[in-house]
Structure 1
């Protein structure tokens, strides 16, 4: 039974279309018999016409049918068929320079492709395809091919055009490639909303909910500290963490094994190691964590290091709460933090 206080909280989230509540609750509309996710764009009902549920199954058992607009039985922000088709086409021919006729051949409107890619990846389809070509160019140059050979192989007739496009995506000219690293970024759908994963070929470097405040600054700091270019794509660690997250959200996994690359001060690294020692399904206060680390008076510094964690869920900063039992802070939002704590308590052995 959801308390009246919590129902009012959920209703305010529904009015605000707050993405932090995705997967946390569903709302049934008594006047229409339909149930929706919190971010549904449909006209909002009055509070007295709402019935709230913590799972889609509960809504179905209460005789509500799923909304055709927000599709509450699918993951939030799930990749559309348009994006799936275009990403697959890019992978089949990454050197291709796309024109309007190419979209027409796939029965896709070019403006639709632009809009959906912008919403999903914060870049247009053309920018995505260009970044993919530049990733291929890096691989070819590093394997020993000359810049001119790579330029022609990636579809650029002009050396200046290739150099400008390369510099725009990578932040440096092709001739300076030896000093650069390459990271790849991909969206991962989860029941609590989409997450952004960034990784090298060897390790995961960032995992955050895409609506986290300040995420763009985090990504820029990561790029500068690692002297890396970040482009769309997949790597083995991204494939690994995607599979592990699916198992985690089903309650089948309590410890992640995807290799991690942690970028922080010695103190931060010590705190993050301490976070990983908190057992699944349990919580610890900031002061207790500080004491365990041998720094009992440094609980504020511990809290700051906790907030600087760039690997949400995997390094479980959500398991740290205030001494008085209140949640404290969480970059992904307190609603998600409470959901994660409840989820782990429910599924711990």
Structure 2
């Protein structure tokens, strides 16, 4: 198993813990506690790239991420996570839309469950999924963060249009 490295990012909406190997990022999660970085004094390039790209996201300079990442999950979850990446920056989709997009329209609850298991916050944009009524629903980082992220993206999307 590859050694894991940890880096913390102080975002406008709280601390984000970035975990990765020398080759790929495996977790980007909001955290309430900050521990010392586990980088042995050196930050692997992939973590430095991730940190820089997240900085650019929060300043409105980046809408897509290009650093390598991996996510462990069932084949179904991986299909859902891939579908999440197709929701455009600054837009939203419902769980129902997501289920339809993976050609499994009855899997609305399973899609919601897969969404909740996403460990790559912001990069795999689970915050862009809302209820079919337009209401904000579940987000591991808290609904207030979900609302902030959506407003942030919409404000920079308008500037780009």
Q: TM-score, normalised by structure 1?
A: 0.43
Task: Tell me which of the two structures has the higher relative contact order, counting C-alpha pairs closer than 8 angstroms and 6 or more residues apart.
Answer: 2
Q: How does 1:125-274 map to 2 (within 5 A)?
A: 180-211=1-32, 232-233=38-39, 234-274=43-83
Name the CA distance, whole Å, in 1 between partners of 2:132 and 2:63. Answer: 24
Query: Would the aligned equivalents of 1:183 and 1:200 in 2 still touch at CA under 8 Å?
Result: yes
Q: Structure 2: state its 5+ residue gaps.
A: none
Deviation, 1:343, is 0.7
Partner Cα distance (2:112, 2:140) in 1: 12
Q: Distance in 2 between matches of 1:306 and 1:321?
A: 11
Q: Is the 1:287–1:296 Cα contact (8 Å) retained in structure 2?
A: yes
Q: Work out the CA distance in 2 between the residues paired with 1:293 and 1:342.
A: 26
Structure 2 Cα separation of the partners of residues 342 and 237 of structure 1? 28
Which contiguous aligned blocks of 4+ residues in structure 1 show a shift greater than 6 angstroms?
none
Unaligned stretches of 5+ residues in structure 1 = 1-179, 213-230
- CA–CA distance in 2 between the matches of 1:301 and 1:211? 28
SS of the residue corresponding to residue 206 of structure 1 reads strand
Q: Deviations over 1:219-277 (max 9, x none)?
A: xxxxxxxxxxxx81132121011101111111111001110011111000000000000
Residue of structure 2 in register with 1:347 after alignment: 156
8 Å contact from structure 1 (residues 321, 328) kept in 2: yes
RMSD (Å) for aligned C-alpha atoms? 1.3
Per-residue CA deviations over 1:159-204 (Å, capped at 9, x if unaligned) read xxxxxxxxxxxxxxxxxxxxx4311111111111111011000100
In proportion to residue count, which structure has more helix? Answer: 1
CA contact (8 A) 1:241 1:258 kept: yes
Q: What SS is found at the alignment partner of 2:3?
A: strand
Secondary structure class of the residue paired with 1:195: strand
Name the residue aligned to 1:333: 142
CA contact (8 A) 1:211 1:332 kept: no
What are the within-5 Å matches in structure 2 for residues 90-129 of structure 1?
A: none
SS across alignment from 1:288: helix
Q: TM-score, normalised by structure 2?
A: 0.91
Counterpart selection for 2:126 from 279, 298, 317: 317
